[in-house]
């Protein structure tokens, strides 16, 4: 991981020097030292039903089960939720990223992957920026042969009472645009609950 990050950081510095830009150099230097963590999981929905306060299959009301069952009958069971990531910048200059690729997992089963194409600036001197990712997957497509109860239970208990994810994890691969040059982090790293620069998988 250290070797990969060193090459990535060196590429950032080289790009900044090639562009002869002091502001770019400060930005990419700060970005290279930013730390990331997972914070909260919000608004989980199963087939459009709010399941944030439902812990098991038996807790679902008849009306809610009717909605979920109708979705299963047409061959789909969409699960949606927002996973919030925090980026912290301990440096004296603003940091920025232009793209964030991600892979989301539940119980180490991959459920979604995608890319956030959005410039995100992280304030200097310990500034924190929240990066919300709206994730979605189809549990029927994912789990296929499991029973209805197993399918539903898989989409429950994703967070504790403080909305802290308990079964969801995420790997990310950030990139930064320096002028017209896109520099991509060499590989995904998994985020934890505490701020860290990442551990490459």
Q: Confidence class of residue 80 from pLDDT cuts 50, 70 and 90?
A: very high
pLDDT per residue as tens digits for the range 89-130: 887 778 778 889 999 998 888 889 999 998 888 888 889 999
Instruction: Give the C-alpha separation, 80 to 107, whole Å.
Output: 16
Q: What is the pLDDT of residue 170?
A: 92
pLDDT per residue as tens digits for the range 153-182: 888 888 877 788 888 899 998 887 655 666
Q: What is the pLDDT of residue 57?
A: 83
Q: Is the CB of residue 134 less than 8 Å from the CB of residue 145?
A: no
Q: Is the CB of residue 180 less than 8 Å from the CB of residue 18?
A: no
Q: Is the CB of residue 80 less than 8 Å from the CB of residue 135?
A: yes
Secondary structure percentages of the chain, helix, strand, coil, to 5: 25, 40, 30
Q: Is the CB of residue 101 less than 8 Å from the CB of residue 188?
A: yes
Q: Is the CB of residue 68 less than 8 Å from the CB of residue 49?
A: yes
Q: Are strands 181-184 and 168-178 parallel, antiparallel or unpaired?
A: antiparallel
| Residue 28 three-state SS | helix
Token digits of residue 25? 């150099």
CA dihedral sign of residues 131, 137, 142, 145: positive
Instruction: Give the C-alpha separation, 40 to 164, whole Å.
Output: 5
């Amino acid at each position: 991981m250290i070797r990969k990050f060193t090459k990535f950081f060196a590429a950032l510095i080289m790009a900044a020097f090639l562009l002869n830009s002091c502001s770019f150099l400060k930005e990419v230097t700060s970005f290279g030292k930013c730390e990331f963590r997972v914070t909260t999981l919000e608004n989980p929905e199963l087939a459009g039903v709010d399941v944030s306060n439902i812990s098991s299959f038996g807790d679902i009301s008849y009306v809610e089960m009717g909605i979920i069952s109708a979705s299963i009958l047409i061959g789909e069971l969409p699960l949606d939720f927002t996973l919030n990531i925090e980026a912290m910048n301990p440096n004296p200059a603003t940091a920025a990223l232009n793209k964030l690729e991600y892979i989301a997992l539940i119980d180490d089963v991959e459920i979604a992957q995608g890319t956030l194409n959005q410039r995100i600036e992280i304030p200097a001197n310990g500034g924190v920026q929240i990066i919300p990712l709206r994730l979605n997957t189809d549990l029927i497509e994912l789990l296929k042969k499991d029973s209805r109860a197993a399918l539903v239970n898989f989409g429950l208990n994703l967070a504790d009472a403080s909305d802290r994810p308990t079964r969801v994890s995420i790997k990310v691969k950030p990139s930064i645009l320096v002028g017209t040059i896109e520099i991509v982090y060499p590989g995904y790293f998994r985020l934890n609950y505490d701020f860290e620069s990442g551990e490459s998988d």
